[in-house]
Structure 1
Amino acid sequence: MTEGISRTAFEIFGIDIYWYAIIIVSGVIVAMWLSAREAERVGLKEDDVSDFMLAGLPIAFIGARLYYVLFNFEPYLNDPIQIFNLRSGGLAIYGGLIAGGLWLLFFCQRNFIPTWRFLDIAAPSVLIAQAIGRWGNFVNQEAYGPITTRSFLENLYIPDFIINNVYIEGAYRQPTFLYESVWSILGFILLLLLRSKKRLV
């Protein structure tokens, strides 16, 4: 059986740099760039996006970690310090969205920015960041679906490198990361088309 993709992209001074981190950061950078461009187009300042992200990123990160720990608390009961061991993984997008959404409401109110306008700017960027970020789950062989067959995956014309890496725990798995990534890209395109036709605010 073909060996899966290595989680480590490279090393710096003996420290492993993981593909997961590179992919997540790439998604964030793309989202910030798109949001900044749209902010200028609708009359907001580019700094509004960077100011929002400066605090929003760590807030969303903490929210994602807390959500994961709260719903997977048992492994941390005997060794609570592992809650802070982020290199072992464990982030939940739902927690990040909740924490980030609360921060967005506060940020818009404090800076007198129409909330719906800021959401109009941010929504497509969140979708494309999610589409990119799901490939981190692919490399980590996580967030996969139920058992399937190789022939089923081949009939979907999925590339071999994906099929080989969803062979997990002795069976082929549904590549749910891929399905969500594709749907997120389609949602991103749809929002851009709708935004070009009629602005929400």
Structure 2
Amino acid sequence: MFLAFQSPGPIMLELGPIAIRWYGFLIACGVVLGVTLAQWLAQKRGVDPDLVGDLVIWIIIGAIPGARIYYVAFEWENYAQRPAEILAIWHGGIAIHGAILGGLTAALLFTTWKKVSFWPLIDLIAPGLILGQAIGRWGNFFNSEAFGRPTDLPWKLFIPRPSRPPEWVNFEYFHPTFLYESLWNLGVFALLIGLFFWGLQRPGRLKVGTLIFTYFIAYSLGRFWIEGLRTDSLMFGPLRIAQIISLVQIGLGSLGLWWLYVWGRSLPDVPSQDRG
């Protein structure tokens, strides 16, 4: 009972008419830590950290609208009735799969423009990305959203009545799926960092592309089962969109690792202009 969670509310700090929300603050923290980590890993691999910093700016520019457009597209019936809310991203309502799609598209455009290799740079981004996701998930806690079905487990989450689904309005406690995913993501982060440093100690053994393909598989395995607990999934008919995308990412990641290690293929190494 003593482990039950209850959100203190979405507002972190109010300064007159200005309200600083936990959701935005945590996303900002995740971005800053992710960028710092990616640049540090770049130095370890002999890649120009400024190049990685520039790449991250492009990824953010692509990820934020991608995450919102993706979410609004699958919730269009609701947003069509209140179009003023479409841009109110601070109220919640972004989708990580939309952010990934938008960010990868922006990264591809950046690397094409800069004429540098796409895969080694994306590998460097992967650990920071999953770390940022682990931090950002706590924004759902403060917004009392993205929770699971009712439960009586000791780590249950109290959800205020206005935020409960109509069919479970008389239930008070729900699965804290934000916590499950945050902890899972931290585990994926540890895996990616472990692989990165294992590769540094064994030159040539860890192929370029391994980290991003592993990210796709490991993150998606957790997201698939956690999504099955949630009450607010984006749907395509009777199917949960996030579970469909998770299966696609698991398949793509598995094919990528098979291509690298079973078929024995290689992706381009670090950008030649950044070699020491």
Do they fold alike, i.e. is TM over 0.5? yes
Change (3 A) 1:165 1:58: farther
Identical columns (%): 35
Determine the structure 2 residue equivalent to 1:193: 194
Summarize deviations over 1:8-56 as a string: whole Å, max 9, x none: 1111232211111111110111000000111122122111122112232
**8 Å contact 1:137–1:177 — kept in the other structure?**
yes
Alignment of 1:139-158 (within 5 A): 139-149=142-152, 152=153, 154=154, 158=155
**Equivalent of 1:89, from 83, 87, 92?**
92
2:176 matched to 1:175?
A: yes
Distance in 2 (alpha carbons) for counterparts of 1:57 and 1:15: 24
Please report how far the alpha carbon of residue 96 of structure 1 lies from its aligned counterpart in structure 2 after TM superposition. Answer: 0.7
Segments of 5+ residues of structure 2 without an aligned counterpart are 165-170, 200-205, 209-276
SS at match of 2:20: strand
Higher helix share: 1
2:63 matched to 1:60?
A: yes
Summarize deviations over 1:86-124 as a string: whole Å, max 9, x none: 333221111111000111122222223322211220111
2:40 matched to 1:33?
A: no
**8 Å contact 1:68–1:92 — kept in the other structure?**
yes
Distance in 2 (alpha carbons) for counterparts of 1:57 and 1:79: 26
2:76 matched to 1:73?
A: yes
Distance in 1 (alpha carbons) for counterparts of 2:63 and 2:8: 28
Change (3 A) 1:114 1:10: same
Distance in 2 (alpha carbons) for counterparts of 1:28 and 1:102: 18
Count of residues in correspondence between the two structures? 191
Distance in 1 (alpha carbons) for counterparts of 2:151 and 2:100: 31
Please report how far the alpha carbon of residue 167 of structure 1 lies from its aligned counterpart in structure 2 after TM superposition. Answer: 6.4
Distance in 2 (alpha carbons) for counterparts of 1:85 and 1:173: 26
Superposed CA RMSD in Å reads: 2.0
Please report how far the alpha carbon of residue 164 of structure 1 lies from its aligned counterpart in structure 2 after TM superposition. Answer: 5.2
**8 Å contact 1:64–1:92 — kept in the other structure?**
yes
Change (3 A) 1:174 1:40: same
Distance in 1 (alpha carbons) for counterparts of 2:160 and 2:23: 18
Change (3 A) 1:95 1:2: closer
Change (3 A) 1:124 1:137: same
Deviates more, 1:36-45 or 1:94-103: 36-45
Structure with more contact order per residue of length (Cα contacts < 8 Å, sep ≥ 6): 1
Please report how far the alpha carbon of residue 140 of structure 1 lies from its aligned counterpart in structure 2 after TM superposition. Answer: 0.9
Distance in 1 (alpha carbons) for counterparts of 2:26 and 2:117: 31
Segments of 5+ residues of structure 1 without an aligned counterpart are none
Distance in 2 (alpha carbons) for counterparts of 1:43 and 1:85: 40
Determine the structure 2 residue equivalent to 1:106: 109
TM-score between the two structures when normalised by the length of structure 2: 0.64
Distance in 2 (alpha carbons) for counterparts of 1:193 and 1:88: 36
**8 Å contact 1:127–1:187 — kept in the other structure?**
yes
